[in-house]
Amino acid sequence: MKTITLALTGASGMPYGWRLLECLLASGQRVHLVYSQAAQIVARQELDLALPNRPQDAVRALNERLGTYSGELRVFGIQDWYAPMASGSNPGDAMVVCPCTMGTLAKIAAGISDDLIARAADVMLKEKRGLILVPREMPFSEIHLENMLKLSRAGTVIMPPNPGFYSQPANVQDMVDFVVARILDHLGIENTLLPRWGGE
C-alpha cells in the first residue's frame, strides 16, 4: 500500500482528480486528500459534487458517492498544519495536484507554503519524493512556462491533461481515463485503463 497525497485545486478538470481518487482507492492505496475552496466550487460545477468544509463530513459524503473500495481515505483541511504530509518526517510516497491551478503551481515554484497543499508539495520537493502536477490551463503564458520549467528542473513531473487519440476514445470518460492511466503509471500503480501502444 502506497500513501499518496491528492490535492484538488480550482482549475477546470475536476473529472481527472475524481477518477484518480477512485482508481487509487480501488487499487488499495492510502489517499490523503486535501482541496482548496476554489476546488469546492469547481467540483460542484463540473461533477455536481459537494465537498464539505469539515474533513469528517467530507469523508462521509465522499464514501457515499464512492461506494466500497479496498484503500484508505483521509481528508485534511487546507490549513491543517498537523496533517502528516506537512512534515518531512511523514511525507508519504508521492503527491499529485490534479487539477493544478497556475496560482498553486506558482506558489510551489516560489516555495510559498501558506496552505497545506503548497506545504505538502514543498515537503515532497525537499525530501526528493514524487511530485506530479496536472496543470489545466490554455494557453500557457511565459510566466506559466518558466514556473513549470523551474519545477521540472527540481524533479517535479509536469503532466498537462492531454489525452492521446491513438486508442480511439469513444467518449469523454475514455479521454479522462487516458490521462489518469498515465498519472498512475508515474506513481508506479498498475492499471488497465489505457490500451497500451503496441498491444502489450
User: Which pLDDT score is estimated for 109?
Assistant: 98
* Residue 67 Rama label (left phi>0; alpha psi -120 to 50; beta): left
* Number of compact structural domains in the chain: 1
User: Which pLDDT score is estimated for 167?
Assistant: 86
d(CA 17, CA 112): 23
Identify the domain containing residue 118 by its residue range: 3-199
Residue 197 vs residue 3, higher pLDDT: 3
Dump pLDDT digits (tens) for 16-42.
Answer: 999 999 999 999 999 999 999 999 999
Count of Cβ atoms closer than 10 Å to residue 117 Cβ: 27
**Residue 199 predicted with pLDDT over 90:** no
Position 200 confidence tier, pLDDT thresholds 50, 70, 90: low
Dump pLDDT digits (tens) for 72-117.
Answer: 999 999 999 999 999 999 999 999 999 999 999 999 999 999 999 9
pLDDT above 90 covers a percentage of the chain that reads 95
Helix 37-47 to helix 14-26 angle (10° resolution) is 90
Location of C-alpha cell 510516497: 93
**Residue 124 predicted with pLDDT over 70:** yes
pTM: 0.96
CATH number at residue 14: 3.40.50.1950
